[in-house]
Structure 1
Amino acid sequence: MPRELAPDTADALRQLLGPDGLLLDAAERLAYGYDNSRRQGLPLAVALPTSAQQVQAIVRLCREARMPIVARGRGTNTTGASVPGEDALVVSFERMNRVLDIRPGDRVAVVEPGLLNGDLQAALAPHGLFWPPDPTSAGFCSIGGNLACNAGGPRAVKYGATRDNVLALVAVTGTGELVRFGAGTTKGASGYDLSRLLIGSEGTLALVVEATLRLTPVAPRRRALRALYADVESAAAAVARLMAQPVTPSMLEFMDGDCVRLAREVGGAELPPAGALLMIEADGDDAVLDAAVAALSAAAAGPGCLGVASAPDEAAREKLWAARKALSPALRTLAPGKINEDVVVPVSRIPDLVAAVRRAAAEQQLAIVSFGHAGNGNLHVNILYDPADDAQTARAGAALEAVFDAVIALGGQVSGEHGIGLVKRDLLVRSLTPPTVAMMRAIKSQFDPDGILNPGKVLPPA
């Protein structure tokens, strides 16, 4: 028989949240049971709090009932981090979606976790400000989700990922205590920086109920460059050159030959055939932009470069970036199944990573398509195969292991921006030393002594 929420717990949650703040119907619960990892679970119930005080009370009720809690934004993550077990309560933050304050003079915004990234950007635009994290799902992912996995995006190469753009957090621990870390200042030397610890913890340490975000002025002008290469090795070498010279691009994206073809045939981008492509962008004012573009163009040119061209107008630039964002779903036209990983290595080791990916593709006789945020050393490696073919499935798994082995050997990490969740938790342990893992477990026990916050995610059971 399906599990049900204990009547006394259900009554207490109804009294706390109101009649429409607790979802018990199986059809409603199902909508909160999956994320973009294609994994699925059916939670016991879904709570929809509207305040930090309600979140505290929920955690205390669940701690008393020994019931796991899975915090949820909009479910756009790809690692199973927000997939609940059948004994869990999902706490969805969709009703805590307000902009609490915008202080242009401080370059600060204070927001609730359920606010959509796109809605925040729209609220900031009249002030000439933006929040740098811009994942592909920016239009419909939540700030809380960005915090949970330390989301990045193309602009991270110059402006940093989520962790670099948060000043303070208010959160509820696994004991129901309300804690405040950081302050709305851009400098601080007052104790441990626990805000950065919570960012990327995927709801396993505390539930964030308020965030003070560091904002950046919108550059007055930007200009896009398109550099084409004969092969991926030449493009990878150009990435290392671009990041070694003084001018930091505001975006630096890599696409291999298959991606170039898909961007043309599926995305509608006007691109000639090429073995690889770099999309480079500079931003700034008139006084510096011409010199920046000249420096970036010179660094992009080199062995294997077929040409560097400036996007003729904003429409052409937008079309190229739209084609880049459409790449992930477009890969389904090449094969019915794909394994999408977001590995990251030091930028100088990008050529070595690209070479390792090509070796894995040749050894396993599978197509492996790569694109991503090359300026951060963060590539999305997509292994394409037919899940109905057992032999292909086995070869895809072997290719994935080879890629991860190469990433770890190159001093990289198994996730650059998607997080660990369920999918990569064993890999995380493989890439860290035992004392490091033990320290992470000790930190988890301090924040969540009963282990009720998103159990089984990030760190595997001891």
Structure 2
Amino acid sequence: MPLPTPLIEALRATFGADLSLAEAERVAYSYDNSRLHALPDAVVFPTTHAQVEALVRQCREHRVPVIARGRGTNTTGATVPVDGGVVVSFERMNRIIRLDPDNRLAIVEPGVLNGDLQQALKPLGFFWPPDPTSSPWCSIGGNLACNSAGPRTVKYGSPRENTLGLRAVAGTGEGFRAGTYTSKGSTGYDLTRLLIGSEGTLALITEATLKLTPKPTGLRTLRATYRDVSAAAHAVARIMAQPVTPCALEFIDDVALRLAHEHGGDSVPMAGAMLMIEVDGEPETLPSAVEAVSRAARGEGLESLDIAQTAEETQALWSARKALSPAQRTISPNKINEDVVVPVSRLPELVDGVKQLAARHNVLIVSFGHAGNGNLHVNLLPRDDAERERAHACLADLFDLVIRLDGTLSGEHGIGLAKRPFMPLALQASTLDLMRAVKSAFDPDGILNPGKLLP
């Protein structure tokens, strides 16, 4: 049903021309990268914290849903307005408020693009470690909402480990601050880490104080190919068991390599599996670090190990990984992309299990991902209705396998709509009850992103 007239008048008074009721604009904000969609009743574009407070108070008074949105790169439907309401696009709150290398922090608004922040930090010799694949066009607010990470997480951690504090607005319309401007703090509950990964169900983030890391001056890229996926998975476990932590450790299975080879040509090697490994640090320490990682990479099933010496060689080694996404799109526009995680020592069991599931359900599955964290992107590629039906049955078996291996449903994509039905598989009832109680404390009327995350 349409928004109440008093609410529309209140929103116009708060936002003026930054409120849209036009159908074309509402359609543009009705979906994300999950391909799920639902039409909101309105879209607003705040530019200040005070506007967000006013918006939430106004919507709470009329029990109208409020859905925070970054740039819509999420793949789980986390920003789809399933109950209508008002979508809050933070794209115009995009100021880098302060860069403070002396204290190793940056203060930004949620609409700042990850890639723009990295460019601003580069001349200062720092970076913010989270680097999802979509970093050139995804927002910091979206990264925080889903705890989106990327390859560098293996060494530098996720947004939870790289955020000092937040300013936000709860479902009551009340603004608050959480966290500190310091790298140490032990003052009450850690609401900052609680809000990160909560997918806009607890509060709307309006400002973030991010922890910066000095950028290493040296980098080496290695590419190792293996006889089969099991040999590569065991190599991952060996690499992560020795003292030198790579800054990226990516796994690509045989099916993915074949697709990438067909799309990218001879620059992509044909093998049973492949690891892309990066080691960073200061130039004088790199040779010994590369040798330690190379030693761990060698073992049963290794076919080749190449170390890039120049930027051009590095780019050539990464060609297979870069060819993956376009190659998958040519096969299945209905790709189901999951980002399950298991303990690194159990990655061989997960990789073998995925192979068995693909055979049992007769579904094409491409696996690759951030192996150093045990985070595997399992991509089911159904090509018709029959395969889609089998893929959804396979998905349930995949999640069951992951839980049996002491893993979890998501490493960085979040839960949203897509994985919400499986939450009781991952968490016991008493844990979910505590989460519901937390949700009620922040959002007593349930207006913030309803229908997401909690079953």
TM over 0.5: yes
Match of 1:5 in 2: 3
Match of 1:283 in 2: 280
Unaligned runs of 5+ in 2: none
Match of 1:26 in 2: 23
- Which residues in structure 2 correspond to 1:113-128 (within 5 Å)? 113-128=110-125
Pick aligned residue for 2:381 from 375, 384, 396:
384
Match of 1:347 in 2: 344
Shift of 1:338: 2.3
Shift of 1:10: 1.2
Contact 2:220 2:309 in 1 (8 A): no
Match of 2:303 in 1: 306
Match of 2:12 in 1: 14
Contact 2:147 2:414 in 1 (8 A): yes
- Which residues in structure 2 correspond to 1:227-238 (within 5 Å)? 227-238=224-235
SS at match of 1:385: coil
Match of 2:78 in 1: 81
2:262 maps to 1:265: yes
2:185 maps to 1:188: yes
- Comparing 85-94 and 152-161, the one that deviates more: 85-94
Q: How many residues align?
A: 455
Pick aligned residue for 1:330 from 320, 327, 338:
327
Contact 1:232 1:256 in 2 (8 A): yes
**How many angstroms apart in 2 are the aligned matches of 1:101 and 1:455?**
33
Contact 1:134 1:152 in 2 (8 A): yes
Contact 2:400 2:425 in 1 (8 A): no
**How many angstroms apart in 1 are the aligned matches of 2:316 and 2:71?**
27
Match of 1:95 in 2: 92
**How many angstroms apart in 1 are the aligned matches of 2:265 and 2:209?**
39
Pick aligned residue for 1:401 from 396, 405, 413:
396
Shift of 1:204: 0.1
- Which residues in structure 2 correspond to 1:53-452 (within 5 Å)? 53-267=50-264, 270-321=267-318, 323-388=320-385, 390=386, 392-452=387-447
**How many angstroms apart in 2 are the aligned matches of 1:300 and 1:427?**
35
Contact 1:240 1:350 in 2 (8 A): yes
**How many angstroms apart in 2 are the aligned matches of 1:419 and 1:204?**
12
Shift of 1:396: 1.4
Structure 1 pair 442–299 and aligned structure 2 pair: CA distance change class (3 A): same
**How many angstroms apart in 1 are the aligned matches of 2:290 and 2:87?**
48
- Deviation per residue, 1:10-34 (Å, 9 max, x gap): 111111112x210010001110110
Q: C-alpha root-mean-square deviation of aligned residues, in Å?
A: 1.3
Shift of 1:118: 0.7
SS at match of 2:410: coil
The one-letter amino acid paired with 1:142 is S
Contact 1:336 1:387 in 2 (8 A): no
**How many angstroms apart in 1 are the aligned matches of 2:425 and 2:257?**
34
Shift of 1:144: 0.3
**How many angstroms apart in 1 are the aligned matches of 2:443 and 2:28?**
27
Structure 1 pair 269–448 and aligned structure 2 pair: CA distance change class (3 A): farther
The one-letter amino acid paired with 2:411 is G
- Deviation per residue, 1:49-70 (Å, 9 max, x gap): 1100000000000000110000
Contact 1:268 1:323 in 2 (8 A): no
- Deviation per residue, 1:95-126 (Å, 9 max, x gap): 10000000001110000001110111111111
**How many angstroms apart in 1 are the aligned matches of 2:388 and 2:258?**
25
The one-letter amino acid paired with 2:415 is I
**How many angstroms apart in 1 are the aligned matches of 2:46 and 2:40?**
16
- Deviation per residue, 1:278-297 (Å, 9 max, x gap): 00000011221000000000
**How many angstroms apart in 2 are the aligned matches of 1:45 and 1:319?**
46
Shift of 1:336: 4.9
Shift of 1:323: 4.1
Match of 1:38 in 2: 35
**How many angstroms apart in 2 are the aligned matches of 1:400 and 1:417?**
18
Structure 1 pair 205–56 and aligned structure 2 pair: CA distance change class (3 A): same
Structure 1 pair 142–322 and aligned structure 2 pair: CA distance change class (3 A): farther
- Deviation per residue, 1:369-425 (Å, 9 max, x gap): 10000000000001122233x3x2232122212211110001100111000001111
Contact 1:149 1:201 in 2 (8 A): yes
Contact 1:157 1:249 in 2 (8 A): yes
**How many angstroms apart in 2 are the aligned matches of 1:54 and 1:212?**
20
TM-score by length of 2: 0.98
- Comparing 296-305 and 81-90, the one that deviates more: 81-90
Percentage identity across aligned positions?
60
SS at match of 1:287: coil
The one-letter amino acid paired with 1:77 is N
Shift of 1:160: 0.6
**How many angstroms apart in 2 are the aligned matches of 1:265 and 1:226?**
19
Shift of 1:266: 2.0
Structure 1 pair 325–133 and aligned structure 2 pair: CA distance change class (3 A): farther
